Chains A and B, each alone.
Chain A
Amino acid sequence: MTTLTTKTQLLEDAGYAYSFDREIYVNRKARKVFSLDFVEDHTEDVLAAKLGEPVPSTGKWHFYFNSAPSPGVERELSAILG
């Protein structure tokens, strides 16, 4: 639980909010989404690296999932996130 708490803190410090309904961490400004599974299954170092990773400002959402989301899931989540 301690490790998850540390990772949660990392995400919150970077401006991410947790969506309880979708089990994802979302940063609307950065337009990045981390799944809970990804956060749980990766180390703090990997998470920190992904948080700092620059993404092109195309307006598209960037998803960090263990298994890349299908186009259908990306479409659904993008519609929900706006």
Chain B
Amino acid sequence: MAERTPEDRLREEYFVLLPVVRRVMEELEAEVRHCLLPLSSKLHKHERLVVTSRVKDCESALGALRRRQEGATFDSDKTDSYTLTSLNDLAGVRVLAFPRSRRIEADFDFRQRFKSWASDPVPADDGGEEPLAFKYHGFCAASTMIRGELQIAPMLVGLFWDVEHSTVYKPSPELKGVGKTPEMRRRRSEVLTALKAFENEFERLVRLARSAE
């Protein structure tokens, strides 16, 4: 009989963990929505707070764990040493906020609610002090084994990520590599800069309009 590879064992682990991962995701989403209620109720017409959640799919989880190894390859002699529970984002909730001031408020509320969680922000391309997105991971009451991940991102960037994800991170075979070329990385950086400039200018004009009232 053929030997079980690390991938075989991890696929089995994934489906054993799946019900718990779902519970973590549901609990985290409920907590996030509850935490955002006061803020959501005072949003202006043009402002947005959108909460989405997802369970990482099996092959993505395997790929993420594999890419943690140098050379993105599992050691078949150490099959038992890998576990999907070491991933922080099997269960994830994302909050997209517009404009920036609401994102900062939401982040402040989450910091109070999830005090014990580890912060792991997504750094900005421009080297600025403010991260591109805030990210936290930790345990919910639903499990002491599976961590949940909470991400708070600018809505414009989050919507761009949705498109970028299928070209850069999970491209179809014929597009593999296209999104990671230096030229595409430069264009991506330009898009993020433009989105940030749009948001900053919008907020500046809103402040001006309010001060004139």
**Does B bind A?**
yes
Q: Which residues of A contact B (CB under 8 A)?
A: 1, 4-5, 8, 18, 20-24, 33, 35, 37-38, 63, 65-67, 69-73, 75-77
Q: Which chain A residues border B185 with CB–CB below 8 Å?
A: 1
Q: Which chain A residues border B180 with CB–CB below 8 Å?
A: 20
Residue in A8, A24, A67, A72 whose beta carbon sits within 8 Å of that of B72 in the complex: A24
Residue of chain A at shortest CB distance from B79: A72
B182 near A73: Cβ-Cβ < 8 Å: no
A1-B185, A8-B182 known; A73 vs B177 contact (CB < 8 Å): no
Residue in A5, A33, A67, A77 whose beta carbon sits within 8 Å of that of B182 in the complex: A5
Interface string of B51-69 (1 = CB under 8 A from A): 0000000000000000101
B77 in the interface, Cβ–Cβ < 8 Å? Answer: yes
Residue of chain A at shortest CB distance from B76: A72
Give complex CA distance A29, B41 in Å.
64
Interface string of B66-96 (1 = CB under 8 A from A): 0101111111111000000000000000000
A1-B182, A5-B182, A20-B176 known; A76 vs B70 contact (CB < 8 Å): no
Q: Which chain A residues border B75 with CB–CB below 8 Å?
A: 70, 72-73, 76
Q: Which residues of B contact A (CB under 8 A)?
A: 67, 69-78, 176-177, 180, 182, 185-186, 189
Give complex CA distance A20, B180 in Å.
9
Residue of chain B at shortest CB distance from A67: B70
Residue in A5, A69, A72 whose beta carbon sits within 8 Å of that of B78 in the complex: A72
Give complex CA distance A46, B184 in Å.
27
Q: Which chain A residues border B177 with CB–CB below 8 Å?
A: 18, 20
- Since A35-B70, A38-B70, A70-B77 are in contact, a sample of 16 more A-B pairs with Cβ atoms closer than 8 Å, ordered by chain A residue number, is A1-B185, A5-B182, A22-B71, A23-B67, A24-B71, A37-B70, A63-B71, A65-B70, A67-B70, A69-B70, A70-B75, A71-B77, A73-B71, A73-B75, A76-B73, A76-B74
- Which of the listed residues B70, B76, B182, B185 has the most CB atoms from chain A within 10 Å of its own CB? B70
Q: Which chain B residues border A8 with CB–CB below 8 Å?
A: 182
Q: Which chain A residues border B182 with CB–CB below 8 Å?
A: 1, 4-5, 8
A75 near B71: Cβ-Cβ < 8 Å: no
Residue in B67, B73, B186, B189 whose beta carbon sits within 8 Å of that of A73 in the complex: B73
